[in-house]
Amino acid sequence: MDDAPDAEVVENLRDLSRINRWLGGNRTMAGLLDPHLRRNPRALILDAGAANGETVRWLSGRYPQARLVALDRAERLLRMGTGDRVAADVFAWPVRSRSVDIVICSLFLHHFDDEGVGRILSHFEDAAREAVIAVDLHRHPLASGFLPATRFLAGWHPTTIHDGVISVNAAFKPAELQLLSPRAKVRSHWPWFRLSLEIDVSRSR
């Protein structure tokens, strides 16, 4: 996506929005956030790897009292969104310790190797006062074949299909994600082929 023309990026982001709305990504994230937002409805939430901030936009509608901030290294993608946005690299982490309530990420961790995921989660844990929540893909043959099988029905852009298959194949099994963060709570979410990772950092402070 980094080198693709703007028109192609817009189509891909539109597809990703549909995937998250229709296929459980947003629902999974909201289910994890709901208990925290009931206790702290004005929470400050940082979405890392947010691209154009579509997840932030959707969550803002669900949690109107919360403050949500999108962080991504790609300024081009951030400019396609609205709201509070920060251009930064997760490996040059700019966020002060305990400066936000919750750090979230969606379909982000599978882009990195195990060492990279460990570094990222360490940054997230340091920044959060309450929790770190990640939703990502569950590596499974059915998930890998879904976008190609539904390309004509849903009208997915070719880039979405290509990148989607690569992403599923680069994603996690539950035990693999658990090994990367042993004290996290890792759950499978069916039939969405999503995994979630939740770290309660408040207990360690």
- Residue 3 pLDDT greater than 70, yes or no: no
pLDDT digits (tens, 9 = 90+) for 9-57: 889 999 999 999 999 999 999 999 999 999 999 999 999 999 999 999 9
Are the C-beta atoms of 180 and 121 separated by less than 8 Å? yes
The dihedral built from the CA positions of residue 154, 157, 162 and 167, taken in this order, carries a sign that is negative
Q: How far apart are CA 103 and CA 83, in angstroms?
A: 17
- Residue 2 pLDDT greater than 70, yes or no: no
pTM of the model: 0.94
pLDDT digits (tens, 9 = 90+) for 97-120: 999 999 999 999 999 999 999 999
Sole residue written with tokens 């946005």: 85
At residue 5, the pLDDT reads 76
- Percentage above 70 pLDDT, the chain: 97
pLDDT digits (tens, 9 = 90+) for 155-198: 999 999 999 999 999 999 999 999 999 999 999 999 999 999 99
Q: How confident is the model at residue 73 (pLDDT cuts 50, 70, 90)?
A: very high
Q: How confident is the model at residue 205 (pLDDT cuts 50, 70, 90)?
A: low
Closest CA to 49 of 112, 99, 5, 130: 112
What per-residue string of b and e applies to 52-87 under the rule 16 or more CB within 10 Å gives b?
Answer: bbbbbbbbbeebeebebbbbbbbeebbebbeeebee
- Residue 203 pLDDT greater than 90, yes or no: no
